[in-house]
A and B are shown apart, each in its own frame.
Chain A
């Protein structure tokens, strides 16, 4: 290949290349890495971060940020768990309540950011505390357990050998990809993030678009909370601490710009996968807990740095 052509090629496939490279290195170091059962294990483990990351992709694309994700995971998990005791309601009720709780908090974020004109960082930071507090109030500070089997299978069952949480992630990602690429509102999300003034001048309802992005993001967090509660078979008011940071990291690794307008769901999925592979690999290699944190941090920064260099 001519060197002039390698840049755009790297920009497009650099992350994929990094993922393949790290995976190869891991499978050489630990033969147990590259087995079907471990790869299924990895996609199960990235599901929750993946769903959060897809949701927050909308918000980052508009140029905003959402720091409340982790708390929304806890709140919606607890809210769903309260309705998921055996023999009370069909399983769809707790699922809908969880998603709704997340969506409403997301809508509240969006409302204050747009109508109240308060910076997203502050609004979602406030929501982070409020939602955590609500989760503690609803649960009385204790995990909500004794959940129905129908509810807990959501997080543990397999369909054709693929874990249900991974299928949920796939569905959310596919729907989001289609929405962002092919629906008018999706294209407006990019327009608002690219240049808000231009978007407003060309008649786009900026307030509506932002409300949409934060509500979808909240709904995804709600869904992630439901999946988490189902996976760990309890609604935990302490769950999801700092999950927003992992989710945002996955999106940024995936090439979505923190200043908005550029990126997409495909990259986000790869970012989440890269983080999942690193986590899994370091555990398989039994790297000490102290070093794991250092290695993870370096790889996250390194991946984004490489990506920036190749897109220049």
Chain B
């Protein structure tokens, strides 16, 4: 083959960049910058935010809710992404402390490993608010939801639809992560109360839609007509199960419920494809965390723990939730 010149290589790269840049309706900015709003007051508060993972849809929604609330309150946010690494998260909080921010919002990666971040902030006298998940060391304030409750709601829905008797399968999140452990615990609490509901199989699909689809296809091969319901620890996996069941023409016989109420899942519930999802209130959690951080920075009183309830979403109420989730 003929040697290619450097110029043609550059052209290829340029062409690619253009193709991406003009991709229709896709170039939404992530907005990882400080929220600027209104006339700057004399002493504008600065809040450092360390998020667990900005490539997770729920965390992206949490982030947007924080930016919106910060804009309304006229405070500046410095947002960092720990990319699932608790160690990186601790470093981020250390640099917030070095910058002397007025308050810190932590969206912990892990219960144990992210705890030093809380300890360091408290030792430096900077108020720290945990949002969405917990750390072993209690922070100044906590805003979030009880993950067990989400699984309980979804499972109770399934039990009720099955009339208290039937065969189900469960898809786990990434094994060992707090959300997986708690959703598993919540689901098993409900199972323990209903001995006639039989758990045929449970496996991890690692929060991933493609893996969930393969797993569901394998379960269809193994259990076929015996399957009556699927509980998935998140919507991505729930959607994977739905697609696999639809392709096997079994969806009309199998109930699927999952957790998170991401836009795609809400649409699927609205369309009658997914039976139920559980709404976790990103706006309430993100906005509430910014509010708490501002109050603490101004040395006002603030509730130590705020639990924002989950809500079951079925076809009857999917419409109202679809409006709250900003679709692209």
Binding site for B on A (CB under 8 A): 30, 32, 35, 37-38, 41, 44-45, 48, 78-79, 82-83, 85, 88, 97, 100-101, 104-105, 107-108, 111, 115, 132, 134, 136-146, 156, 185, 205, 207-209, 211-212, 228, 231-234, 236-239, 241, 279-280, 283-284, 286, 289-290, 292
Contacts and interface: CB of A to CB of B under 8 A. Distances in A.
B176 to A, nearest CB: 9
A196 B56 CA distance: 43
B213 A232 contact: yes
9 contacts: A32-B221, A132-B55, A138-B26, A141-B60, A143-B262, A231-B213, A232-B239, A234-B264, A239-B208
B90 to A, nearest CB: 22
A209 B218 contact: no
Given A79-B23, A82-B26, A115-B6, A142 B328 contact: yes
A211 to B, nearest CB: 6
A284 B216 CA distance: 10
B219 interface: yes
B42 interface: no
Contacts of B201: 286
B263 A145 contact: yes
A210 to B, nearest CB: 11
Given A138-B20, A228-B210, A30 B9 contact: no
Nearest to B242: A233
A283 B30 contact: no
Interface in B168-226: 172, 175, 200-201, 203-204, 208-210, 213-215, 217-222
B240 A232 contact: yes
The 4 closest A-B pairs by CB, nearest first: A140-B28, A283-B218, A104-B16, A82-B26
Interface of B: 1-4, 6, 9, 12-13, 15-16, 19-20, 23-30, 54-57, 60, 172, 175, 200-201, 203-204, 208-210, 213-215, 217-222, 236, 239-240, 243, 247, 262-264, 267, 328
Most chain B beta-carbon neighbours within 10 Å: one of A79, A232, A237: A232
Contacts of A143: 57, 236, 262, 264
Given A231-B210, A232-B210, A239-B210, A141 B222 contact: no
B28 A205 contact: no
B18 to A, nearest CB: 11
Contacts of B328: 140, 142
Given A82-B25, A137-B30, A284-B221, 9 more contacts: A37-B221, A41-B217, A79-B19, A79-B23, A104-B12, A108-B12, A111-B6, A208-B4, A231-B210
A286 B193 CA distance: 24
B203 A289 contact: yes
Contacts of A239: 208-210
Contacts of A141: 30, 54-57, 60
Contact of A30 (B30, B175, B222): B222
A107 B24 contact: no
A21 to B, nearest CB: 20
B205 to A, nearest CB: 9
A139 B30 CA distance: 9
A272 to B, nearest CB: 14
Contacts of A132: 55
Nearest to A233: B243
Given A137-B30, A283-B203, A142 B263 contact: yes
Contact of A283 (B208, B213, B222, B267): B222
B1 A208 contact: yes
Nearest to A241: B208
Contact of B218 (A35, A41, A238, A290): A41
Contact of A136 (B19, B55, B213, B263): B55
A283 B215 contact: yes
A232 B19 CA distance: 23
Contact of B26 (A38, A144, A211, A228): A144
Nearest to B203: A289
A232 B243 contact: yes
Contacts of A142: 57, 60, 263, 328
B218 A280 contact: yes
Given A30-B222, A101-B16, A211 B214 contact: no
B221 A35 contact: yes
Contacts of B55: 132, 136, 141, 237-238
B107 to A, nearest CB: 14
Nearest to B28: A140
B263 A289 contact: no
